[in-house]
C-alpha cells in the first residue's frame, strides 16, 4: 500500500461516512415519525406556556438555541462552500475540470455537456444532503432544548406551589406537577430510544472523520484550497462530537 493509495482512500472516506450518516438519520426519523409526533403532542398537551415570572428563563434558552443554530449553519455552509469553490478555482486557473467530491463513474464524465450535468447532479446531492442533516439535527436539538426548559419550568412551578398556604390547593397543584414530571420522563425515555443509535454512530463517524481529515490536512499543506476543504470537514466532525457531549 503506497502513500498515494492511502491518500486517495482517505480523501473519499469522509464523503462515504457523511453520506451514511445522512441516510441513517433520514431513515430513523422516517421510521420513528409517529413517535416524534407523539413527543411533540405530549409536550403541547401537558406543558402549558410558561408564566410571566419565567420569561427570562425562556428568553435565555431561546438565545442559547439561536446561538447554537448560527454556529451549526455556519459550519455546514463553510463545508459546502469550501468543496464547491475548489473546482471553480481550478477551472479558472488552468482549465482543469474537477468535481466537488471525488467519484468513480463507469463513463467519461469530462466530455462536453456530460461534465456540466454530472457537476450539477453532484452539487444538488451535496446541497440536499446538507439540508437534510441540518433540518433533522435542528429539529432534534429544538426538542431537546424544549424538554430541558420544561424541567426548569417544572422546578419553578414546584417552588411556587409550596408557597401556597391552602393545603387543598397545594395538594392539587403537586398532583398536577407529579403528572407533568412523569409525562416528561416518558418523553425523555422515548427520545433516548429513538436517537441513541444515531448518537452512537454520530460519535464514531465523527471520530473517523477527524482522523482521516487530519491526515488529509497534513498531506495537503501546500494546497491551500484542499487544506481549507478538509479543514471544514474537520471542524464539522468536532462540532458533531461537541453537540453529542453537550
Q: Are 102 and 83 in contact (CB under 8 A)?
A: no
Distance CA(131)–CA(81), nearest Å, equals 14
The answer for 103, left when phi > 0, alpha when psi is -120 to 50, beta otherwise, is beta
Exposed, middle or buried: residue 109 (CB in 10 Å: 0-12, 13-18, 19+)?
Answer: middle
Q: What is the DSSP-derived secondary structure letter of residue 53? A: G
Dihedral (CA of 178, 180, 185, 186) sign: positive
Would you mind telling me the total number of residues written for the chain in this entry? 246
Q: CA nearest 229: which of 19, 81, 51?
A: 81
**Number of C-alpha atoms within 13 angstroms, CB side, residue 36?**
15
State the pTM of this model.
Answer: 0.73
**Do residues 180 and 46 lie in contact, with contact meaning Cβ atoms separated by under 8 Å?**
yes
Residues 233, 14: contact at Cβ < 8 Å?
A: yes
d(CA 98, CA 184): 51
Q: Which residue has the cell 469553490?
A: 85
Q: Which residue has the cell 426548559?
A: 149
Distance of CA 245 to the CA centre of its chain: 13
d(CA 173, CA 79): 50
Calpha distance 10→215 (Å, rounded): 8
- Mapping DSSP to helix (H, G, I), strand (E, B) and coil, where does residue 89 land? helix
What string of pLDDT tens digits covers the 246 residues of the chain? 455 667 777 777 777 877 888 888 888 888 888 888 888 777 777 665 555 555 556 677 777 777 777 777 777 777 777 667 777 777 777 777 777 777 777 888 888 888 888 888 888 888 888 888 888 888 888 888 778 878 877 887 787 777 766 777 778 888 888 888 888 888 888 888 888 888 888 888 888 888 888 887 777 766 776 777 777 778 777 877 777 676
How crowded is residue 21: how many other Cβ atoms within 10 Å of its Cβ? Answer: 20
Amino acid at each position: 500500500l503506497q502513500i498515494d493509495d492511502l491518500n486517495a482512500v482517505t480523501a473519499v472516506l469522509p464523503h462515504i461516512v457523511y453520506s451514511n450518516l445522512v441516510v441513517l438519520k433520514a431513515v430513523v426519523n422516517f421510521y420513528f415519525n409517529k413517535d416524534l409526533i407523539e413527543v411533540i403532542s405530549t409536550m403541547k398537551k401537558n406543558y402549558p406556556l410558561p408564566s410571566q415570572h419565567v420569561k427570562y428563563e425562556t428568553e435565555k434558552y431561546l438565545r442559547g438555541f439561536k446561538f447554537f443554530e448560527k454556529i451549526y449553519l455556519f459550519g455546514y455552509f463553510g463545508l459546502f462552500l469550501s468543496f464547491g469553490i475548489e473546482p471553480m478555482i481550478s477551472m479558472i486557473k488552468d482549465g482543469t475540470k474537477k468535481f466537488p467530491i471525488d467519484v468513480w463513474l463507469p463513463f467519461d464524465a469530462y466530455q462536453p455537456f456530460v461534465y456540466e450535468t454530472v457537476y450539477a447532479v453532484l452539487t444538488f446531492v451535496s446541497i440536499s444532503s446538507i439540508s437534510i442533516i441540518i433540518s433533522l439535527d435542528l429539529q432534534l436539538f429544538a426538542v431537546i432544548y424544549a424538554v430541558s426548559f420544561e424541567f426548569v419550568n417544572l422546578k419553578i412551578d414546584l417552588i411556587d406551589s409550596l408557597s401556597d398556604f391552602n393545603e387543598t390547593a397545594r395538594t392539587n397543584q403537586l398532583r398536577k406537577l407529579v403528572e407533568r414530571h412523569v409525562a416528561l420522563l416518558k418523553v425523555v425515555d422515548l427520545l433516548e430510544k429513538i436517537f441513541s443509535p444515531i448518537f452512537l454512530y454520530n460519535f464514531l463517524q465523527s471520530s473517523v472523520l477527524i482522523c482521516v481529515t487530519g491526515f488529509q490536512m497534513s498531506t495537503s499543506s501546500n494546497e491551500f484550497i484542499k487544506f481549507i476543504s478538509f479543514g471544514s470537514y474537520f471542524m464539522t466532525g468536532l462540532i458533531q462530537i461537541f453537540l453529542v457531549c453537550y
